[in-house]
Amino acid sequence: MSEVHTAAGAAPEIHITPFKVRVLLVDDQLIIIEAVRRMLADQGDIEFHYVSDPHQALRSAEELRPTVILQDLLMPDVDGFDLIRQYRASTVLEHVPVIVLSAKEEPKTKAQGFAVGANDYMVKLPDKLELLARVRYHSGAHISRLQRDEAFRFLRESQKNLAAANIELQKLAALDSLTGIANRRRFDEVMQIEWQRGQRDKQPLSLLMCDIDCFKIYNDSHGHLAGDLCLKKTAAVLTEHLKRPADLAARYGGEEFAIVLPDTDAAGAMIVAEACIRHLASLDIDNAEAKPHGKVTMSVGVATLVPSPSGSVEALLTAADSALYAAKNGGRNQACVATV
């Protein structure tokens, strides 16, 4: 029950392998296997594999080399904790992220899972968006590690390839470690690139500044782990509404995100903004103390300019920030367009 795609294309001289997200589910219940398979079935960037016989789990994992293992704890004749210990003792699997799947939310079970080497804990069955966010986050971190290791091997083999390897390493350094989307550094680089391109092509450049409403209240009420998951879900929502390769979602800082939309006018940018706002609100993430909505919502400031020598990236950022401020003052959970 798996689908494998081979990525084509190689950089001159040095090629960093484009590792794919590869999920291995170890669970003896076919109903759980089928449910997880359905959650991942429409995700073209994810391969799904499963093992229903826990006695075959270690061998299958070493052969498959997944980027994340979803591990059930209660299985016939096999202790899920012991399996995690075996993964950690394997030179092939010692760094592969393991997410425990448990039927109950028990602190003692969680603590034991982390003690034997698990990276995360989920009560099954989780909602689809949460599962995708965690799978992509842990896989992304593991793939980054694999790619770094591969890049360093190339560097040791030949100093003449140093420049090409550094380019690959820069790409790896462009991701936010928590959410897996572009970080502030990458955002700044892309804004400069798209500003220059917009000047050359005389096409509009739109910027969305997005801020989770009352996030401090959510963090204080639910704890930092829940806050981190909220940030991951928000990042997943934003990326889901980007349709073109040049579009970029980035974590700007804290609970603030940015979306760069080249060749997009204000009307098109508003469509994306409103879709993101509706999507996040539809998740119904409880934030009871946040008035007036009582759930996690987002405000968005939209600004659009046709880049020119008389303008600047800073002016576009300032306009988007002003629009975001207006959305907050107007009651939150909405988007406002700046007058530029």
Which residue type, as a one-letter code, is found at position 233? K
The CATH class that applies to domain 1-173 reads alpha beta
Task: Report the distance separating Cα 121 and Cα 174, nearest Å.
Answer: 27
Q: Would you state the CATH architecture of domain 184-337?
A: 2-Layer Sandwich (3.30)
CA distance 293 to 284: 10
Supply the pTM of this predicted model. 0.53
Q: Distance between CA atoms of 4 and 79, rounded to whole angstroms?
A: 30
The token duo for 161 is: 């390839």
pLDDT tens-place string over residues 49-101: 999 999 999 999 999 999 999 999 888 888 899 999 999 999 999 999 999 99
Tens digits of residue pLDDT in 184-241: 999 999 999 999 999 999 999 999 999 999 999 999 999 999 999 999 999 999 999 9
Decide if 209 contacts 300 (C-beta within 8 A). yes
97-124 per-position pLDDT tens digit: 999 998 888 888 889 999 999 999 999 8
Please state the domain extents for the chain: 1-173, 184-337
Distances (CA, A) of 246 to 27, 206, 243, 264, 266: 39, 12, 9, 11, 17
Q: Bridge-partner residues for 211, per DSSP? A: 256, 299
Identical fold for domains 1-173 and 184-337, yes or no, is no
